[in-house]
Amino acid sequence: MSQERTLSIIKPDAVSKNVVGQIISMFEAKGLKVVAAKMMQLTQEQAEGFYEVHKERPFFNDLVKFMISGPVLVQVLEGDNAIALNREIMGATNPKEAAPGTIRATFASSIDENAVHGSDAPETAKNEISFFFKDAELCPRTR
């Protein structure tokens, strides 16, 4: 397995439920390491840019409105197979279909407000990380 980095966002619904620490613990328990993190209030332009791939989808406007409805915690997670592992820990997009014990099964209330984002492939991970972080903001684990 290869060391990878992936972008994770704890979305406004989960921040508002005050479960940021519990969610990070779920990543840490499976071996993922935080190598960058910041709390941000996204602007409309940032949310639209980040989700540009979905701009033709019927839920795009609601998704953008939701993502700017409160602060988010944006982070970079590192570990073996981090991209797929993060998706596994998150659970399915629709929390009704998410496996028990996953973040979305535990904390998400609907497909619209589903607690977390995670990159879905190496190319998107690279682009999404650079959307939010400069190289110098990524902190390799030296111990």
| Residues taking part in catalysis | 117
| Closest C-alpha among 113, 7, 95 to residue 50 | 7
Residues in region 33-72 near Mg ion by CB under 5 A: none
Ranked by CB distance to ligand ADP, the top (closest) residue is 93
**DSSP states along 102-141:** SHHHHH--SSSS-SEEE--SHHHHHHHHHHH--GGG----
Among 120, 124, 131, 138, binds ligand ADP (CB under 6 A): 120
Asked whether position 43 contacts ligand ADP by CB under 6 A, the answer is: no
For the CB of residue 104, give the shortest distance to ligand ADP in the complex, in Å.
Answer: 8
Evaluate whether 129 touches 117 at the Cβ level (below 8 Å).
Answer: no
Among 22, 43, 93, 109, binds ligand ADP (CB under 6 A): 93
Residue 74, C-beta contacts closer than 8 angstroms, at least 6 positions apart: 7, 8, 9, 37, 38, 39, 40, 132, 133
* Per-residue binder mask for Mg ion (CB under 5 A), 119-138, x = binder: -x------------------
Q: Which residues bind Mg ion (CB under 5 A)?
A: 120
Q: Which residues bind ligand ADP (CB under 6 A)?
A: 54, 59, 63, 93, 111-112, 114, 117, 120
